[in-house]
Amino acid sequence: MAMSFEWPWQYRFPPFFTLQPNVDTRQKQLAAWCSLVLSFCRLHKQSSMTVMEAQESPLFNNVKLQRKLPVESIQIVLEELRKKGNLEWLDKNKSSFLIMWRRPEEWGKLIYQWVSRSGQNNSVFTLYELTSGEDTEDEGMPRKCERQLQPYRRTNRISCLWESELLAQPPK
């Protein structure tokens, strides 16, 4: 069953699509944008995109109002999300990003709890099974979860072999 997204009232307010010069107003506006981005991405299970994709998506482009947040303003919103720990840039140009509607520590804890709750401790399963499997369908697991699992890997609570490590190993 597809869920519909409830846009906040600000989304129907044309000045929302122009970052305001007043510091207090801008802080509230950025908080509203951050909340909107996280809610939208969570509902649509979107974990990565480019800035250009973001600008053309309904998230930053209200077709009914014929208003679009400028790229420079989108960058400011995304940087605010990065400061809060909800975004990671995927390239040096800051043109693509990983969005985390939960911070990596929260995801790691939830993933570990799911493994324990589902009785899969000491079991082997793939990241695909974790992020797209039938057992995790309702959990909303992130598509890319290596970073979220790193703290558990460092404390030996999980064992992981990342694709990047496999690719770095010489053939036998």
Q: What is the distance between the alpha carbons of residues 133 and 125, in angstroms, rounded to a whole number?
A: 10
Tell whether pTM > 0.75: no
| Residue pLDDT, tens place only, 83-122 | 998 898 999 999 999 888 877 777 777 777 877 887 877 7
Q: Which residues contact 70 (CB under 8 A, 6 or more apart)?
A: none
Question: What is each CA distance from 49 to 75, 76, 78, 131, in whole angstroms?
Answer: 13, 16, 11, 17
Q: What is the distance between the alpha carbons of residues 145 and 125, in angstroms, rounded to a whole number?
A: 13
| Residue pLDDT, tens place only, 114-150 | 778 878 777 776 666 666 666 655 555 555 556 556 6
Q: What is the distance between the alpha carbons of residues 118 and 72, in angstroms, rounded to a whole number?
A: 44
Q: Which amino acid is residue 69, in one-letter code?
A: L
